[in-house]
Chains A and B, each alone.
Chain A
Amino acid sequence: MVVLKDESAPIRSSIDVMRVRQIVREWAVSLGFSLVDQTKVVTAASELARNTMVYGGGGELRMEALNSDTRRGLRLTFSDQGPGIADMEQAMKDGFSTGAGLGLGLGGAKRLANEFAIDSRPGQGTTVTILRWNKL
């Protein structure tokens, strides 16, 4: 697997969240994602970027365009140095939110991605990685 492109973007404000959606869409288009796949990865990115901003107190998105023999992928890593997630099982459950949202963001992002990983340490921050492959 080869990394074609590797860039980072800050997530500090809702304008940054908007920009994340735009950049992720651009990347998905350039990787040849179908309209449905574009929409899925952009929506997942939107959820996770907003979590980073609202619950993580801001952070960063790292985007990697991947290339393997048979397919292309987009890996997005959202990291923050916020308070972390106290109860992971609960956080992943649909309908649970410590804020005012619908509580579907994390679970939804997981379902919208092909691969999903979350690492959180209370007091140190949270890192969420998703990977979406382009069906060829």
Chain B
Amino acid sequence: MAEQESKVAQLLKKHEQDVLQKWLSYQMSSMTWRADLMKESDLREQSREFLQLFIEVSQQSGPGADAAAWKSAKEMLAEVSRSRAMQGFSPSETAMFVFSLKQPLFDTLRRELNDVEELSREVWSTTTLLDKLGLYTVEAYQQSRESVIARQQQELLELSTPVVQLWDHIVALPLIGTLDSARTQVVMERLLEKVVQTGASIAIIDITGVPTVDTLVAQHLLKTVAAARLMGADCIISGIRPQIAQTIVHLGVNLADVITKATLADAFAVALQRTGARVTRVGVKE
């Protein structure tokens, strides 16, 4: 069995350059080739390396993608998938790297093998093998994508929440996104730090960008307000949209002790008034 199957390896070794050239030109003329994403020299290098591994490995143990000897070929494919996922190739464009080898390979087999039965046997074993490797490529591609997503989630969690100074003694914290407890902790600390740093007497917390205000979010807000108050700053919660207001009422959350406003502008007006500042129009005739 092993002797028969290494036929592919023998033929490939003999026609390596020819197969490589044809494979390359096939890849580059194919619809799935992305000249915009990848340099030709890189493709040449990857193709050469994969073809060599393919020959080496089919020589050693005969085709069988599960054999331990395929490890290096798999590692190489995983690396190819990873880099292509990063470069922005689609999964099928990535898998085509492996599948496109079929055409030059089968051409060679057809030319060199005269016995029909032998030919079909070789084609079958080669195609099975390449299919396995191709699917493995897709799997590796997906894994690398998932790791990208996981990293992005991490980055989102660490999204900076800037506390901005609007005026003397007035700071604002525009909250955006979900207020899960890990981020809320960070947000709360930043706000309190800024209060100390600027000596602010009023802190505006704007929740326009918070999609859902449930009891946990409300609790976090109330705690932040209480902590700021202990440090001598009054909080105004702004950005309370009508649907959020209704929901808060149904939930039974008591925000009576907190000044709340519909918009950040309203809150700023209150804050200015409280700090004794006044906004007047200059150069506009009444």
Residues of A in contact with B (beta carbons under 8 Å apart): 14-15, 18, 21, 25, 35-36, 38-40, 42-43, 46-47, 50, 94, 101-102, 104-105, 107-108, 111-112
Most buried by B among A18, A25, A94, A104: A104
Q: Is B128 an interface residue (CB 8 A)?
A: no
Chain B residues, CB < 8 A from A14: 180-181
Q: Is B213 an interface residue (CB 8 A)?
A: yes
* With A101-B219, A104-B252: A47-B214 Cβ-Cβ less than 8 Å: yes
- The 8 closest A-B CB pairs, nearest first, are A108-B251, A39-B243, A46-B214, A111-B250, A36-B243, A104-B215, A102-B215, A43-B247
Nearest Cβ in chain A — how far from B20, in angstroms?
Answer: 46
Residues of B in contact with A (beta carbons under 8 Å apart): 153, 178, 180-181, 211-216, 218-219, 242-244, 246-247, 250-253
| Cross-chain contact A40 with B253 (CB below 8 angstroms) | no
* With A14-B180, A102-B218: A42-B212 Cβ-Cβ less than 8 Å: yes
Apart from A21-B178, A42-B211, A102-B253, what are 14 other A-B pairs with CB-CB below 8 Å? A15-B153, A39-B212, A40-B243, A40-B246, A42-B212, A47-B214, A101-B216, A102-B218, A104-B251, A108-B215, A111-B251, A111-B252, A112-B247, A112-B251
Nearest Cβ in chain A — how far from B262, in angstroms?
Answer: 15
Nearest Cβ in chain B — how far from A71, in angstroms?
Answer: 20
Chain B residue with the shortest CB-CB distance to A37: B243
Q: Which of A21, A35, A107 is close to B212, meaning CB atoms less than 8 Å apart?
A: A21
Q: Which of A40, A50, A94, A107 is close to B247, meaning CB atoms less than 8 Å apart?
A: A40
Chain B residues, CB < 8 A from A47: 214-215, 251
Chain B residues, CB < 8 A from A94: 252
Chain B residue with the shortest CB-CB distance to A108: B251
- Report how far A38 CA is from B1 CA in the complex, Å: 65
| Cross-chain contact B246 with A39 (CB below 8 angstroms) | yes
Chain B residue with the shortest CB-CB distance to A48: B214
Chain A residue with the shortest CB-CB distance to B249: A111
- Report how far A14 CA is from B214 CA in the complex, Å: 14
- Report how far A38 CA is from B212 CA in the complex, Å: 10
Most buried by A among B215, B216, B218, B252: B215
- Report how far A111 CA is from B246 CA in the complex, Å: 11
